[in-house]
Structure formats: structure tokens, C-alpha cells
Structure 1
Amino acid sequence: MRQYILTCIIFILMVFQVSAQSGWTRKAKSYYLLSSLSYYSSKDYYTTEGNLSNTGSRFNSSALLFYGEYGVTDRITASLDLPVIMLNSFSSTETVGGVGSVNLGLKYKLFKKAPIAFQAIFEIPTNNGINLARAKKANELGTFDEINLPTSDGEFNVWANLIASKSFPDGKTYGSIYTGINFRTNSFSNQFHAGAEVGHLFFKRLYLIGKLRIQEKLDSGNENQNGSFLYGEGTTFTSLGLNAIYKLGRHLSVLTGYADYTDLLVKRKNIYDGGIFTLGISFGI
């Protein structure tokens, strides 16, 4: 059972880092900065077969996140996605913390006028994937068990994405679709993901953005790999989310977000089912 409990932790941390998908690139020398807090808590676990299993122990994770974009040219945008600090615990363990994996991205607009872009994101581990949390109570032998709650999975990944966007004539509505593959190392299975988002501007200050995302497993990986269940191996899902962005001024905005999981398009496997809450502030020119 404990092995099942640990299966989806890295997946949860990965979801915290997912940013908006857009076929547009930033103007040269312009930038965008976002600092946010995220929180997640759940005890409902879906097994590798897709069955709901109440583990009896609640998993909690919170994070301070930093995201930034910079326009290298009008058609090339560089990005940085960094969980500065992540705190993980079960209801039965102490809380442990660490830095999450660093994501460095480059997005290239394929055509001058059409907002279609190719994006490569390099996910760089910040540790070896080991971060032990001590149980609050001693076991039957009088010793304290330790459970691994990593903040980085210890492997190098490359995300390759193709993104297309469109703005509508009213100037207040946009839509984006995207698809891509996560090429994983250390014999983990590669992953396919795709999604869409639609946003609309209300009252000249409030953006509401709806999001849909799916993830599937592409290959079998190395079934005998030691500890592969600790890093979301075989994790699949459908995710639905809603973001609200309120413009405080020309450059400053506040953001709130909520995301959760369903079996709408892809069945939940190897994942806790619960909502992720996000609150942030952004600045861009």
C-alpha cells in the first residue's frame, strides 16, 4: 500500500509547474514575471489499474513558485519555471522540503503572422530524488519508518510541444490548442499530453481562462527499474482547470487558479484525486 501512496508524488509536483500554453511569443526585450503559491491535499488515490483506493493517509503539498519569460527576439521567447521551495508530508509523517526541478524553455514562432509555435522545455533535476520524511509515530518494533517524499525526480526530461492560438475579432477572446511529448530518461516511459484553453476578458480587467489537459503513457519503460513507482510511472489523467486574472494596472495583475481531475477523456491512473489551488501576482512589460 505504501508503494501505491508514493506513486503520484512527482506527478503532483509536475502539475504545479505547468504554465499557460500560447502560440504567441513576447516582443523582443519584453518580459513577464509570476510569483505564486500552490496548495494540494488529498487522500483519494487511483491505482495503476484506475481503481479508487482510500489510502487512509492524507498527502499534502505546498509550493512557492517562480515563473518568468523574456523576449529574446520577436519570434523567440525564453522561459524559466522554478519551484523555489516545496513542502511535502503525509498526515502520518513530518514535513520535508526542497527545491523542485528547474524547467528551462525556448519557444519559437514558426510563422511571422500566424501564432503557431514550437516549444522545447528542458527539465533539470535539482537532487537525486531522495528526500526522507520520518513517521510521527513509532511502528510495532519501536522504530520510526521513513518515507521518500522527493521534490525532484532525479532525471532529465525534454518536453517538445506544438502550440497554435487564435484571437477572435472582438479582441477579448482567444483560444489555444497544443500537443507534445515528454521524453524521459533513466528508462522511464515517455508521455503524451495535449490540451486546450479558452480565455475571455470581462469588464476590461478580468480574464477568465478555462483549461483542459490529458496525459497518456506512450511506452512500457523499464518495468524492473528500482523505485520507478515513486516518480509517476504510468500516470494518466484528464485535468480541468479555471484561472482568473485581474489587472490591477497596466503591468501588474493578480491570479487565482483551481484544477482537478476526471475520467472525461483519459482515465485517472496512478494519481491522487484532489484540487490544486493557486494564488499569485504577476508583472510584465
Structure 2
Amino acid sequence: MKKNLLPIALMLFILTFKINAQSGWTREAKGFYGQVTASTFSSHDYYTTEGNLSDEGSTFNSHSIALYGEYGITDRFTSILSVPALVLNNFSTTETVTGIGSIKLGFKYKILKESPFAIQVDFDIPTNDGVNFATAKEPDDFGQINTINLPTSDGEFNVWTNLIASHSFPNGKTYGSIYSGVNFRTESFSNQFQAGAELGHLFIDKFYLIGKLKILEKLSSNNINNQSGSFLYGEGTTYTSFAFNGVYKLNNTYSLVAEYSDYTDLLVNRKNIYDGATFALGISVEF
């Protein structure tokens, strides 16, 4: 009997960890999951829209506190809400600007009743017009105090549509997922394509380790003028990213979660992006 329960326990464990996780499982009806996460990023290595590494002479820093929640409407239909409640952006040469990031409202539907194969649609809702100027700490060579736009939200509405398939291996402690999707963007921004894979394993019945690989590509060029816009709009941004996630179960309700992620040119070259590691730490609750 205990052996038969292992795949069920595995699915619950997978659903517990939600820092950028993708899975074909949905939450059970009336089940709730919530998470608060703090993350930090810092880098001075900028890859241009042509993919060339350019040291801009200053370091870009971004810190955030994000809220995430899921609620099972039915056993096969889950609602999702993600809110970057506080985002702080600055360069080493500027003051810090703060704001709320774009809010993501999503819905996941398990297409096959007995198999973890799902479609997920996320509505990316802007919280501002994409303008948030940071003031330079020092005047330039001409004595002028410059400003630079460091938006916390890109000011445009997105619709992400993803197909996700997962599989639990017979040992009941290992799972894998693959997914792909398209981001339909507005305001003349280029549509995007993403695809990725995840592999996770449960150790000592309390610690879960997940390895992930993801690519982001540009599908179209709707407005070439956007190519010179802020990298924070994501226009012309492409990359291969990898990450390692961990979750430690404190008890049946609370867990500690953590993530390390970075970029590489393994499958898709880095373009219009600051290259560096992101560290995240959070706590989750479920019932």
C-alpha cells in the first residue's frame, strides 16, 4: 500500500515548489498553495541585441519580493496568481527606483484525466506604463544630471500559452517535465517562444532537488524601433538559462524553497540581456 502511495506523494511534492516550476499536474479541488520569495540579481555584463558582450561600466542590480498562489477550482482546473509585490532596480551609478512588477493571472487545465498533460494560459497584466526613471548619482562631464528608464513593469499586456507534459518514474521519487509555449505580446513588441525541461528527485524524503533548462527565442519583429529600448522590456531578448531548485519540507504545511539560476549560450545565444546569477529564497504554505 505504501508503495502505491509514493507517486501521489511525489506529485504533491512537485506542486509544493513553484519558483518558475512547470508541471502537468494540477492542484486538487479546494486545495491552496501560497509562497513568498525574495530574489536578488547583480551584473555588469551586458549582451547587446547582436549578441556581443559589452561592459557598460556600471552594474545593474535588481531585487524583488514576489507573492505566488494557486487554488484548485476542480481536480483538473487550477487558478494561479503571481505578483511581484516589490521590485527595486538600479545601476551602480543611479539611485534606486521601486514599483510593482507585472501581475500574472493564470489558469491550468489537465487535458487528460489520468495523465499529467496540461495546457496553461497566463495573462501578464502591466501595473504601469513602462516608465520609471532613475536619477544619476553624479553629474556627467557636462555637469548634467542624467536619468535612465528602469521600468518594473514593461507596460504591455501579454498572453502566455504553454503545453506541459510530466511523468513520474516507478521509484516514486523522480519526475520529469517538458514544456513549450508562445508569448503573444501587444504594443508592437515581438512575440516570443519558450521551451524547457525539468528533472527532479526526492532525497531523504524531505529534500527535493530540481534541475532545469530553458530557451527563449524571438518569433517576430513587429517594430524594429523597439530594438533600442530598455532590456527590461525584453524586446529582442533571447537566451538559454539553467537553474537548480531545492525545497525542504519543514512539516506537512510549510517548506523552505531556494533557487540558483544563470544564463549560457548552450542552445540559444544571449541577446539584449544582463548575464549573471539570480539567487532566490522563500517559504511556502499549503493545505
| TM-score, normalised via structure 1 length | 0.92
Match of 1:144 in 2: 145
Match of 2:92 in 1: 91
Match of 1:36 in 2: 37
Q: CA deviation at 1:134?
A: 0.4
Q: CA deviation at 1:229?
A: 4.2
Conservation of the 8 A alpha-carbon contact between 2:226 and 2:235 = no
- Structure 1 unaligned regions, length at least 5: 1-16
State the distance in 1 between where 2:283 and 2:227 align: 40
Given candidates 250, 269, 272, the residue that maps to 1:270 is 272
Amino acid at match of 1:138: P
Match of 1:119 in 2: 120
With 256-265 and 133-142 compared, the bigger mean Cα shift is at 133-142
Q: Give the 3 Å change call, closer, same or farther, for CA 38–119 of structure 1 in structure 2.
A: same
**3-state SS in 2 of match to 1:224:** helix
Conservation of the 8 A alpha-carbon contact between 1:165 and 1:175 = yes
State the distance in 1 between where 2:57 and 2:114 align: 54
RMSD, matched Cα: 1.3
Conservation of the 8 A alpha-carbon contact between 1:165 and 1:177 = yes
State the distance in 1 between where 2:69 and 2:180 align: 22
Q: Give the 3 Å change call, closer, same or farther, for CA 239–228 of structure 1 in structure 2.
A: same
Q: CA deviation at 1:18?
A: 6.4
**3-state SS in 2 of match to 1:72:** strand
Match of 2:206 in 1: 205
Conservation of the 8 A alpha-carbon contact between 1:188 and 1:228 = no
Q: CA deviation at 1:248?
A: 0.3
Q: Give the 3 Å change call, closer, same or farther, for CA 19–97 of structure 1 in structure 2.
A: same
| TM-score, normalised via structure 2 length | 0.91
Percent identity for Structure 1 against Structure 2 = 61
Conservation of the 8 A alpha-carbon contact between 1:238 and 1:265 = yes
Q: 1:90-128 deviations in whole A, cap 9, x for unaligned?
A: 000001100000000000000110100000000000000
2:231 is aligned with 1:253:
no
Trace 1:24-173 onto structure 2 (pairs within 5 A): 24-173=25-174
Conservation of the 8 A alpha-carbon contact between 1:75 and 1:108 = yes
Amino acid at match of 2:145: F
2:270 is aligned with 1:283:
no
State the distance in 2 between where 1:49 and 1:224 align: 15
Given candidates 229, 237, 240, the residue that maps to 2:239 is 237
Amino acid at match of 1:107: K
- Segments of 4+ moved more than 6 angstroms: none
State the distance in 2 between where 1:105 and 1:232 align: 20
State the distance in 2 between where 1:224 and 1:208 align: 42
Q: CA deviation at 1:225?
A: 4.7
Amino acid at match of 1:277: F
State the distance in 2 between where 1:66 and 1:106 align: 17
**3-state SS in 1 of match to 2:115:** coil
Aligned length, in residue pairs: 269
- Structure 2 unaligned regions, length at least 5: 1-17
